[in-house]
A = this chain, B = another copy of it.
Amino acid sequence: MAGDTTNRQLYLQQRPEGIPTTEDIRLREVPLKDPGEGEVQLRNLYLSLDPAQRDWMSDNLSYMPPIAIGECIRSTSLGRVVASRHPDFEEGDYAVGLACNGWEEYSTAPGEMLAKVEKDGRHPLRYHLSIFSGAMGMTPYFGMLELGQPKPGETVLMSAAAGAVGSVAGQIAKIKGCRVVGLTGSDEKCQWLINELGFDDAINYKRCDNLADAIAEACPERVDIYFDNVGGKMLDAALLNLNDFARVVFCGAISTYNETGPKPGPYNYWQILARSAKVLGLLTTNYVDRFPEALRDLSQWVDDGKLKFAEDIVDGLGNTVEAYSRLFTGGNKGKLLVRLSDEAD
């Protein structure tokens, strides 16, 4: 692709109602511009598909401005530097941009917003977009350890437990000596959580008549940490099972992202008071300065076989939107990535 003069990218044609479709997000070719002063241009090798992006596609008050109509879909990506006007980067370097790149072949960003990554001979480079990434590694690391503050013997209830964040957060709680119960959407995923990842128990929420009762049965000593990726009814069921002084790590609310109109908070909000509990909002970007320490731990745990994970890899920019929809239907397991080149494998 050296010498490309055009960039293919996915842009927001209209704000989605419900799960985004190829009507909402369309492919186009645009001229490839040279990087400006201080900027770095990446040839993207892998794109990250994260639930948070659905929030950015809506016109909501959030921690980032919404993606504008006509703008490329904002994304984290891993790429190879093809042009640099920043002193810290040169051609051939690899770099990750946390939520500053896009679903496109080439991304251009200020050097300050990119982190250089290097082949270490042990792990595929793409791990920097999965287990060592902000979304899959850092989010559960800081969410569980800093906000959850797990203590040995405590009970942790994990929502979206077979997802990128949930699967890692649950294993980190296991490493810290907790009893961990996962919520997920199929019997196959339940078995994976228990047999492969070492969860103590797992609940297939799609087969529960009463989720709160099922949680109560699986968590007889109640729930000390609820790691919330989902919101909605699952959060309400969890709130009914909190232990005194419980922590609710508020990492996401994927069940609500495709709703339009006012979204009520949890109906059992009162339980936060009744149980002297805490709800703790998690933004991984608060911990960027501490990513190196997290990377050391995550890397060690992976090498020691204590931390396992799944990647769900889809090939080709043109398949991105269809793949993205699976995040919301329970159709994926582990970290969802789009591969544009096998150079990072």
Contact = CB atoms under 8 A, between A and B. Distances in A.
Interface of A: 60-63, 231, 240, 250-253, 256, 262-283, 286
A250 B265 contact: no
Given A63-B273, A256-B270, 15 more contacts: A60-B270, A61-B274, A63-B276, A253-B269, A253-B270, A263-B270, A264-B264, A264-B265, A272-B279, A273-B281, A273-B283, A275-B281, A276-B281, A277-B281, A278-B279
A269 B276 contact: no
20 contacts: A62-B270, A63-B274, A63-B275, A63-B276, A231-B269, A250-B273, A253-B270, A262-B267, A264-B267, A265-B265, A265-B268, A265-B269, A269-B269, A273-B282, A273-B283, A274-B283, A276-B283, A277-B281, A278-B278, A278-B281
A293 to B, nearest CB: 19
A286 B281 contact: no
Q: How many copies does the complex hold?
A: 2
A-B complex: 4 closest residue pairs judged by Cβ atoms = A265-B265, A264-B264, A265-B269, A279-B279
B267 A266 contact: no
A246 B184 CA distance: 32
Contacts of A274: 61-63, 281, 283
A281 B256 CA distance: 24
Nearest to A257: B270
A52 B342 CA distance: 62
A258 to B, nearest CB: 14
A283 B61 CA distance: 31
A280 B283 contact: no
A172 B138 CA distance: 38
A265 B262 contact: no
A268 to B, nearest CB: 8
A286 to B, nearest CB: 6
A297 B149 CA distance: 31
Nearest to A277: B281
Contacts of A231: 269
A267 B277 contact: no
B279 A286 contact: no
A280 B282 contact: no
Contacts of A264: 264-265, 267
A253 B273 CA distance: 10
A278 B62 CA distance: 16
Nearest to A239: B265
Nearest to A52: B273
Contacts of A283: 273-274, 276
Contacts of A240: 61
Given A61-B240, A278-B279, A280-B278, A269 B266 contact: yes
B273 A267 contact: no
A133 B60 CA distance: 43
Nearest to A261: B267
A294 to B, nearest CB: 17
Nearest to A256: B270
Nearest to A60: B270
A252 B265 contact: no
A60 B270 CA distance: 10
A310 to B, nearest CB: 25
